């Protein structure tokens, strides 16, 4: 079920599930001598993860992991306002935390593995949910799509692909230094400040577009996660929608502050 304009609208899956439940519980006449008919199992092969609810849960959990990463990443980036040394120390600490108990880069490697797994699972769940929705409606009986759902679907799919493309550029730029004027062996702060130099305004523009996409994706994604968790109801509707918008806005502003400050010369 989904909330649309303050009303609960049953989804195709809800209606299908209701029909299936009805069919499963309807009395079946069988000859007296025949063994009792086996009740068909409502469980789909593959268990919880194969169900729509399972996939939505995967999307919510991996989404939460990525939001937590983004909050930490944004706070770390803001260190550039405290000076190059502060930012470099933070980047160094990311690699040396847990030393000498664990080898260099242990924590960062764990973060990278968890993040990569979250991105893959999030994508897998999104694609299979989209396929299932398409299959559930083989005949296009709705001739005119509601504007709201069309916009959300487009922004989530187009935004998701844009974010993935941005990530490739972003890693080549600031993690590996391949497309950065300072190259790979430079200090993280030097790479960041050279990367967003005013002469490379187009790089800043790429980041602005990508981060706004991240914000729009998050606003809807966080709200969907609230629904999946079962928190969304009539009384909390406004508060939860507001919370999703607030978290997204804080992340957009926090992420865009360093590149814009560097491009406009406030951080050198
Ligand atoms: C727009 C402002 C952003 C800036 C200035 C920025 C800056 C950086 C920097 C400097 C690094 C390298 C860190 C290091 O090697 O020490 C990095 C890595 C990374 N960033 Fe960003 N970032 C921004 C936005 C984003 C966004 C929106 C995402 C995700 C959608 C993201 C995802 C990542 C990932 C996954 C890494 C690799 C982390 C790792 O090394 O394991 N960043 N970023």
Does any domain span residue 227? yes
Domain with residue 202: its CATH number is: 1.20.1300.10
Of 88, 77, 93, the closest CA to residue 262 belongs to 77
Crossing angle (nearest 10°) for helices 188-195 and 237-263:
90
Nearest residue (by CA) to ligand 1, atom 10, is: 174
What are phi and psi for residue 142, nearest 5 degrees? -95, 110
Ligand 1 mean position to 189 CA, how many Å?
Answer: 12
Ligand 1 mean position to 170 CA, how many Å?
Answer: 7
pLDDT at 144: 53
Per-residue pLDDT of the chain (268 residues; tens, 9 = 90+): 444 444 445 444 444 443 333 333 334 444 445 555 555 555 556 688 889 999 999 999 999 999 999 999 999 999 999 999 999 999 999 999 988 899 999 999 999 999 999 999 999 999 999 898 888 766 655 555 555 567 788 888 899 999 999 999 999 999 999 999 999 889 999 999 999 999 999 999 999 999 999 999 999 999 999 988 888 888 999 999 999 999 999 999 999 999 999 999 999 9
Of 247, 237, 178, the closest CA to residue 2 belongs to 237
pTM here?
A: 0.81
Does any domain span residue 15? no
Does any domain span residue 1? no
The number of domains in the chain is: 1
Does any domain span residue 184? yes
Ligand 1 mean position to 111 CA, how many Å?
Answer: 12
Does any domain span residue 67? yes
d(CA 124, CA 114) in angstroms, rounded, equals 15
Helix runs in the chain, H state only: 12-25, 52-77, 84-96, 106-135, 147-170, 188-195, 201-228, 237-263
Does any domain span residue 38? no
Does any domain span residue 256? yes
| Cβ(211) – ligand 1 distance below 6 Å | yes
pLDDT at 5: 41
| Cβ(66) – ligand 1 distance below 6 Å | no
pLDDT at 140: 57
Nearest residue (by CA) to ligand 1, atom 12, is: 175
pLDDT at 39: 59
Domain that holds residue 206: 53-135+148-263
Crossing angle (nearest 10°) for helices 201-228 and 52-77:
140
d(CA 120, CA 217) in angstroms, rounded, equals 16
pLDDT at 20: 37
Does any domain span residue 161? yes
Model confidence over 33-90: pLDDT tens digits? 555 555 555 555 668 888 999 999 999 999 999 999 999 999 999 999 999 999 999 9
Q: Which ligand 1 atom minimizes the distance to the CA of 210?
A: 27
Distances 43 to 40, 47, 187 between C-alpha atoms, Å? 9, 7, 54
Nearest residue (by CA) to ligand 1, atom 36, is: 171
């Amino acid at each position: 079920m989904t909330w649309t304009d303050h009303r609960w609208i049953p989804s195709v899956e809800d209606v299908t599930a209701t029909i299936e439940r009805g069919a499963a519980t309807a009395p079946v006449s069988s000859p007296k001598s025949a063994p009792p008919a086996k009740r068909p199992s409502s469980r789909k092969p593959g268990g919880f993860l194969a169900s729509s609810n399972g996939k939505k849960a995967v999307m919510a959990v991996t989404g939460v992991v990525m939001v937590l990463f983004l909050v930490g990443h944004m706070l770390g980036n803001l260190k550039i306002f405290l000076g190059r040394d502060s930012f470099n120390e933070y980047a160094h600490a990311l690699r040396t935390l847990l030393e000498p108990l664990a080898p260099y880069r242990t924590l960062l490697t764990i973060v990278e593995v968890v993040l990569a797994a979250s991105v893959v699972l999030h994508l897998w769940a999104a694609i299979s949910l989209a396929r299932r929705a398409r299959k559930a409606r083989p005949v296009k009986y709705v001739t005119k799509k509601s504007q709201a759902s069309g916009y959300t679907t487009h922004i989530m799919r187009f935004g998701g692909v844009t974010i993935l493309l941005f990530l490739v550029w972003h890693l080549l730029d600031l993690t590996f230094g391949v497309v950065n004027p300072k190259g790979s062996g430079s200090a993280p702060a030097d790479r960041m400040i050279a990367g967003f130099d005013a002469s490379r305004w187009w790089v800043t523009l790429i980041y602005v577009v990508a981060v706004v996409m991240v914000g729009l994706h998050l606003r809807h994604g966080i709200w969907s996660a609230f629904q999946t968790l079962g928190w969304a109801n009539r009384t909390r509707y406004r508060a939860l929608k507001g919370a999703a918008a607030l978290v997204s806005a804080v992340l957009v502003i926090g992420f865009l502050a360093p590149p814009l400050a560097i491009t406009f010369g406030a951080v050198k």
